[in-house]
Chains A and B, each alone.
Chain A
Amino acid sequence: MSSRIIGQIKRVNGPVIEASGITDAGMMELVHVGELGIVGEVIKLEAGGAIIQVYEDPTGLKPGENVYGTALPLSVELGPGLLGSIYDGIQRPLEEIRNLSGTSIQRGITLPALNREKTWHFVPSPEIPEEVSGGLCLGTVQETKHLLHRVLVPPTLHGRLQYLAEEGEYTVDTVIARLETEGRTAELTMMHAWPIRVSRPVRERLPFNAPLLTGQRVIDTLFPLARGGTVAIPGGFGTGKTMTQHAVAKWCDADIIIYIGCGERGNEMTDVLTSFPDLVDPRTGRSLMERTVLIANTSNMPVSAREASIYTGATMAEYFRDMGYHVALMADSTSRWAEALRELSGRMEEMPAEEGFPAYLPTRIAEFYERAGRMETLGGWEGSLSIIGAVSPPGGDFSEPVTQHTKRFIRCFWGLDRQLANARHYPAISWIESYSEYVEDILPWWEERETGNFVTNRREIMELLHREVRLSQVVKLVGPDALPDSQRFILEVCTLFKNAFLQQNAFDDIDRYSTIEKQARMLDIILSYYRLGSAAIKKGITMVELKRIPALRDIVKMKFTVSNENLDRLDSLAIKLERQLTALEGHHD
């Protein structure tokens, strides 16, 4: 702990503390409060006084105790060793804390986020110009088998390179380079600190050009997310927000996953911690934990650290993006973060806007989602940061402030539907309420692939789903018998599509992840049943006969029976379907 006393506690009434006698504290400065050394941050300065938000339980703090300054803003450590770790909201390593203080988290513990003893094999870049600037790659470390960690010059530095370490084993705090910058010498190590509330600079923003594939059919096919895009998942409790977040975290094709458990259940983080190491990334064949950083600030952990956890995660995500990787950040749930803002704002006795939330809520939400994007980094690579934020609207009512403001700053919306969840239709993403503005952006990407008529198929099925809504309203009034077979067949096809395609079992070894090739062919089969069936109905075949064809049962089960590796079986299924339908017509003639 630093020994620079910057003032004394004046008042304690929760996680917001008033201090007096403040002389040289800086705004957003990281401070230690009281003799326990509780971590806090200066959030307001006034003549002689300051308001400090503390990140640990303030029980026992007394007026008159000292406040110690660090002269640094609240920052995270960035360097090799982040992957596979689990941190709390202010980047304290939870595994190490457990070794030190047992099952519960003691207060006042400060531990380095990155292991200082562990050595990494550093390989300097072969050709480095004499003048270097932020983002330039000094060398690399093979952090995991599949991730090459690029050691970059910190974004704000530039100067003349005087020394670069040779290939060898170094700890993260060993000096590996020296820069002469404006007459001073800056010593660089493999790690550096970055303030969490400041987004890391990039060279320029790039337009979206590819989807972030998740292996979830309803997402990839109907409501795709672009690499670098932003999406919100709102849903009442029990509709499967966390399940959807987990599924995306497990199977999406990002290089790095940052998973923030923000004010959610402790057991959910334990679930991730126990299941991820055993799951295998389908693309690299390695454990999923090797590409994941977890930030756990569960609901019973201090509320201000919940507020900070979102920024801690975003800063780590930007760091990996700067190395030229595709990063996906999951925040579960942004509503808890907004509530933390509300609680702190209330403690500061600020004037509330809607439902007690502070008036700056939309600004904060916008700032957070704007950290996403597909970027050209300072080092000249292409990297992206996609943000997937869960929203927990009170009472499942999407008209509340957090959902509404979030909707203004995202371009993709996966609305979870209570009715679907009640019928155990998972993922319960509503095809009526959800949308994706990225569809147009990534059309060229689809057209380049050999995926048949995917683009037109997608349009057709969306149209059918919307027609189904109107038709089922009619059915609700007059019963299904009032509709002609051609229209009842639409209802039938939509039911088939929901059962055989949209529903996806996250616990089934085959079904949990579908490649886009499988998705495209499954969609194709279902639509050919529609097209051929509609034609047959015109020729006088009844719907009952159409429902009886044996291939239909295979279609319903194809998601479980056909694995991503042998898609040929879908082709033979398509042929079987066509043959049976033709036979039906022949029989009729």
Chain B
Amino acid sequence: MTEKIDLEGVQKTLKTGIEYIGLHRVEGPLVFIRKTHPVGYRELLQCVDPKGNIRLGMVLDTTADMVVAQIFESTTGLTLPDTRVRFMGESLTLPVSEKMLGRSFNGLGRPIDGGPVPLGMEERDINGKPVNPTARQYPRDYIQTGISAIDGMNTLIRGQKLPIFSGNGLPHNDLAAQIARQAKVRGTATDFAVVFAAMGVKHDVARYFIRSFEDSGVLEKVALFLSLADDPSIERLLTPRTALTLAEYLAFEKDMHVLVIMTDMTNYCEALREISTLRGEIPSRKGYPGYLYSDLAELYERSGMLAGFGGSITQVPVLTMPNDDISHPIPDLTGYITEGQIVFEREMHGRNIYPPVAGLPSLSRLMKDGIGEGMTREDHPHLSAQLFAAYSYVKDVRNLASVIGEEELTPLDHQYLEFGEFFEGQFVSQAKNEDRTMEETLDLGWKALKKLPAEELHRVTEEELMEYYEG
């Protein structure tokens, strides 16, 4: 018998050997190459400038006589006649291994901490593959973050994607770092890891996170993917993808519980808009491409738990709302994909409340299945519902007071104002290193409710009133 020749493999090797000299056109991060062999959609390419520097790129549009590709690094220094291009015959992959924890990488996954390239155990396509919905496992285990505004009112669940909607100048980085430091699942000793993806953030912000991880002694459990503000914007499109590829490997091959922090998603979307505009695509709202929703979903949906696997991916994306506008396409589309949101309020920040988590628009969708008897405490669901309802009425009373004056309010409304003060000042507000247990949070919630008469508490049961309100 003759040995079967792997024809396809041979052809692939031959084709990656072909080098094309000369570009047809360069426009921002896009390069146009003419008369190539048939090149696959989204294929990886290497672009070598006259000085011999190699840059990576990806094919966006392919026809028989013209290929359009985006270069992930800067296109500065490319020339039309002397640039050489090689097509790699596959899409961009990331070599992944556990050794990547404790290291820093750029958006493409190359080390930037001076260390050697970690030996990859496995090459993974950075785009991932859509998870079969039947293979998912519904997340139910809560994570104690030690932050009352989250634990009590918007409980984070392992495998959830819960973004922070913030604004410029608000302490979203502090909160994200605090979550990363304090997050724990009680009663279990688990292997955890943090994957941190920075897109277009400033150097000092990145340093703040690194220091914060260092101080709490978890740095060797953290992998950092940094595409900072002065890196080419196009690299930001890859940063979350490489970060999530490692997270998936750690969670579903190594059974680790991975917390992924991605900041700032607004910069990611800006980069996407930049490419889309350059390609001359028809824009939808505010110039963002029509596929912004699908593109964000490709990232956010790479979280959760899989049936039969021990690990999980919990995502905390951070985004700054342009002009604090929650209806802007970026927060809006994010909110439609993620499982809730933690919304920051500038007015609360002004009153020195940290974290300035707005009570009403914040929400955790998975909370309902992760709290209550046997999980947090049996009174938790009703308590949080009651706090929400009462706080919502506080807002009405404050509006009324601003029109008719506080003196004109009924005694009951005055009690509500007192409740509001306590809720914001004692329950929501806490120190940046304060780590409250779930019991402390819930007891504090009841303490707030004691400012109100029992007849007003419709959402808690008689038994709960007996045990926690009267007692």
User: Residues of A at under 8 Å CB distance from B?
Assistant: 10-14, 18, 57-65, 86, 94-95, 97-98, 101-106, 236-238, 261, 263, 265-267, 269-271, 273-274, 296, 298-303, 336, 339, 342-343, 346, 349, 352, 355-356, 392, 394-397, 422-424, 475-481, 499, 507, 553, 556
Bound Cα distance A499, B393 (Å): 13
Beta-carbon nearest neighbor of A499 in chain B? B458
Q: Chain A CB within 10 Å — which of B130, B139, B326, B361 has the most?
A: B130
Our pick among A300, A477, A480 for the contact of B410 (Cβ within 8 Å) is A480
Partner of A479, one of B64, B138, B404: B404
B176 within 8 A of A: no
Do the beta carbons of B290 and A13 come within 8 Å of each other?
no
The smallest beta-carbon distance between B288 and chain A, in angstroms, is: 10
Are A104 and B136 interface neighbours, CB within 8 A? no
Say whether, besides A265-B337, A270-B136, A356 and B284 are in contact (CB < 8 Å): yes
Tell yes or no: B399 within 8 A of A by CB.
yes
**Interchain CA distance A11-B60 in the complex, whole Å:** 11
**Does the CB pair A98–B301 fall under 8 Å?**
no
In the complex the two chains form, is B327's CB within 8 Å of A298's CB? no
For this complex, 26 residue pairs linking A to B, each with C-beta atoms less than 8 Å apart, are A11-B62, A18-B63, A62-B62, A63-B38, A63-B63, A97-B132, A102-B135, A103-B306, A104-B129, A237-B335, A238-B335, A266-B131, A269-B133, A270-B138, A296-B133, A300-B131, A339-B290, A397-B327, A422-B392, A423-B388, A424-B392, A476-B403, A477-B403, A478-B404, A479-B409, A480-B410
Partner of B41, one of A12, A237, A238, A349: A12
Give CA–CA (A564, B216) in the complex, Å: 55
Q: A267-B136, A394-B285, A481-B408 are in contact. Are A62 and B366 (CB under 8 A)?
A: no
Cβ contacts under 8 Å, B381 to chain A: 507
Q: Please, which residues of chain A bring their CB within 8 A of the CB of B389?
A: 423-424
Give Cα A271 to B369, complex, Å.
Answer: 10
Q: Which residue of A lies closest to B41 (CB)?
A: A12
B366 to chain A, nearest CB (A): 7
Q: How far is the CA of A28 from the CA of B284 in the complex (A)?
A: 27
Do B327 and A299 touch (CB < 8 A)? no
Q: Which residue of A lies closest to B359 (CB)?
A: A422
Shortest beta-carbon distance, B9 to chain A, in Å?
Answer: 14
The minimal Cβ–Cβ distance linking A396 to chain B, given in whole angstroms, is 7
Given that A267-B136, A346-B290 are contacting pairs, would A59 and B40 also be in contact in the complex, using a CB cutoff of 8 Å? yes
| Known contacts A11-B61, A59-B91, A299-B297; is-contact A238 B285 (Cβ 8 Å) | no
Q: Are A270 and B337 in contact (CB under 8 A)?
A: no
- Interface contact B337-A105, CB-CB below 8 Å: no
Please indicate the chain A residues that have their CB under 8 angstroms from the CB of B42 in the complex: 58-60
A101 to B363, CA, bound (A): 35
Contacts of A102 in B (CB 8 A): 132, 135
Q: Within the assembled complex, what's the spacing in Å between the Cα atoms of A10 and B410?
A: 75
Q: How far is the CB of B2 from chain A (nearest CB, A)?
A: 24
How many angstroms from the CA of A60 to the CA of B90 in the assembled complex? 7
Closest chain B residue to A347, Cβ basis = B281
| B81 nearest CB across to chain A (Å) | 25
Q: A356-B284, A424-B389 are in contact. Are A63 and B408 (CB under 8 A)?
A: no
Contact present for A12 and B127 (CB under 8 Å): no
Give Cα distance in the complex from A149 to B130, angstroms: 34
Q: Which of B281, B301, B335, B404 contacts A298 (CB 8 A)?
A: B301
What is the CA–CA distance of A173 and B40 in the complex, to the nearest angstrom? 39
- Whole-angstrom distance between the Cβ of B361 and the nearest chain A Cβ: 6
**A18 to B61 CA separation, bound complex (whole angstroms):** 11
Kindly supply a per-residue 1/0 record for chain B positions 399-416, scoring 1 wherever the CB is within 8 Å of any chain A CB and 0 otherwise. Answer: 110011000111000000
CB under 8 Å from chain A, chain B span 49-77:
60-64, 68
Asked whether, in the complex, the Cβ of A303 is within 8 Å of the Cβ of B337, the reply is no
B278 at interface, CB cutoff 8 A: no
| C-alpha gap A424/B409 in the complex (Å) | 25
B336 touches A12 (CB 8 A): no
B contact residues around A423 at 8 Å (CB): 360, 388-389, 392-393
**Most chain A CB neighbours (cut-off 10 Å) among B133, B135, B329:** B133
In Å, the complex CA distance between A397 and B328 comes to 11
Q: Answer whether residue B341 sits at the interface, using C-beta atoms and an 8 A cutoff.
A: yes
Most chain A CB within a 10 A radius of its CB, from B131, B403, B408? B131
**Would A424 and B135 count as touching, CB distance under 8 A?**
no
Chain B residues whose C-beta falls within 8 Å of the C-beta of A270 in the assembled complex: 133-134, 136-138
A56 to chain B, nearest CB (A): 10
A448 to chain B, nearest CB (A): 36
**Contact (Cβ within 8 A) A63 B335:** no
B294 within 8 A of A: yes
Residues facing A in B291-350 (CB within 8 A) are: 291, 293-294, 297-298, 301-302, 304, 306, 309, 326-329, 332-333, 335-337, 339-341
- Bound form: Cα–Cα A423–B395 in Å: 10
Q: Do B282 and A356 touch (CB < 8 A)?
A: yes
Q: Which of A62, A346, A356 contacts B38 (CB under 8 A)?
A: A62
Report how many A-B pairs have Cβ atoms within 8 Å. Answer: 207
**Closest CB of chain A to B406's CB: distance in Å?**
11
Count of residues in B whose CB is under 8 Å from the partner chain: 79
Residue positions of B touching A, CB distance < 8 A: 38-43, 60-64, 68, 90-91, 127-139, 159, 252, 281-285, 289-291, 293-294, 297-298, 301-302, 304, 306, 309, 326-329, 332-333, 335-337, 339-341, 360-361, 363, 365-366, 368, 381, 385, 388-389, 392-393, 399-400, 403-404, 408-410, 455, 458
Cβ B404 vs Cβ A62 within 8 A: no
Residue of A18, A237, A479 near B336 (CB, 8 A) is A237
Contacts of B388 in A (CB 8 A): 423-424
A11 CB contacts on chain B under 8 angstroms:
61-64
Quick check: B134 and A265 within 8 Å, CB to CB? no
Contact A339 B282 (CB under 8 A): no
- Among A267, A422, A476, A481, chain B packs the most CB atoms within 10 A around the CB of A267
Q: Which residues of A contact B291 (CB under 8 A)?
A: 303, 343
- Asked whether A12 and B392 contact (CB < 8 A) given A300-B130, A422-B360, the answer is no
Shortest CB-to-CB span from B252 to chain A, Å, is 8
Given contacts A11-B62, A476-B400, whether A273 and B38 have CB atoms under 8 Å apart is no
Known contacts A270-B138, A302-B130; can you find 8 more A-B pairs with CB under 8 A?
A: A12-B61, A61-B41, A63-B38, A105-B132, A236-B335, A352-B282, A356-B285, A423-B393
Are A266 and B293 in contact (CB-based, < 8 A)?
no
- The interface residues of chain B lying within 8 Å CB-to-CB of A61 are 40-41
With A296-B133, A394-B329: A266-B304 Cβ-Cβ less than 8 Å:
yes
A521 to nearest B CB, angstroms? 20
B43 CB contacts on chain A under 8 angstroms? 60
Shortest Cβ distance from residue A90 to the other chain B in the assembled complex, whole angstroms: 14
Q: Which residues of A contact B339 (CB under 8 A)?
A: 265, 267
Q: Which residues of B contact A267 (CB under 8 A)?
A: 136, 138-139, 159, 304, 339, 366
Query: Do residues B62 and A339 form an inter-chain contact, with CB atoms below 8 A?
Result: no
- Which residue of B has the minimal Cβ distance to A273? B134
Closest Cβ of chain B: how far from A53's Cβ, in Å? 14
How far apart are the CA atoms of A118 and B37 in the complex, in Å? 48
Residue on A nearest B391 in the bound complex, by CB: A423
In the bound complex, residues from chain A placing their C-beta under 8 Å from that of B332 are 236-237, 394-395
Cβ of A240 to closest chain B Cβ, rounded Å: 10
Residues of chain B within 8 A (CB-CB) of A97 are 132
Contacting pair B40 A60 (CB below 8 A): yes
Q: How far is the CA of A274 from the CA of B304 in the complex (A)?
A: 15
Q: What is the CB-to-nearest-CB distance from A420 to chain B, in angstroms, rounded to a whole number? A: 9
Are B363's CB and A298's CB within 8 A? no
Q: Are the CB atoms of A63 and B385 closer together than 8 Å?
A: no
Query: Could you say which residues of chain A place their CB within 8 Å of the CB of B409?
Result: 479
A343 touches B290 (CB 8 A): yes
Most buried by B among A11, A269, A394: A394
Return chain B residues, CB-CB under 8 Å to A397: 327
**How many Å from the CB of A200 to the closest CB on chain B?**
27
Residues of chain A lying within 8 A (CB to CB) of residue B340: 238
| Cα–Cα, bound, A481→B289 (Å) | 53
A266 cross-chain contacts in B, Cβ below 8 A:
131, 133, 136, 301, 304
Q: Which 7 residue pairs are nearest across A and B when measured between Cβ atoms?
A: A395-B327, A299-B297, A104-B129, A423-B392, A237-B335, A422-B360, A300-B301
